[in-house]
Amino acid sequence: MMNVTFNKGAIRKMQEVLTGSNAEGQMVRIMVDHVHGDHAHYGLILSQKTEHDDVVDVGGLEVLVDRRQADWLDGIEVKYLLYPQEGWKITNPKRNNHGDH
Residue ranges per domain, the chain? 4-95
CB 28 within 8 A of CB 100: no
* Averaged pLDDT, groups of 10, the chain, 101 residues long: 94 95 93 86 96 96 96 95 93 76 43
CATH class of 4-95: mainly beta
* pTM score: 0.89
Q: Residue 94: what pLDDT?
A: 87
Query: pLDDT tens for residues 40-61?
Result: 899 999 999 999 999 999 999 9
Residues 6 or more apart whose Cβ sits within 8 Å of residue 98: 91
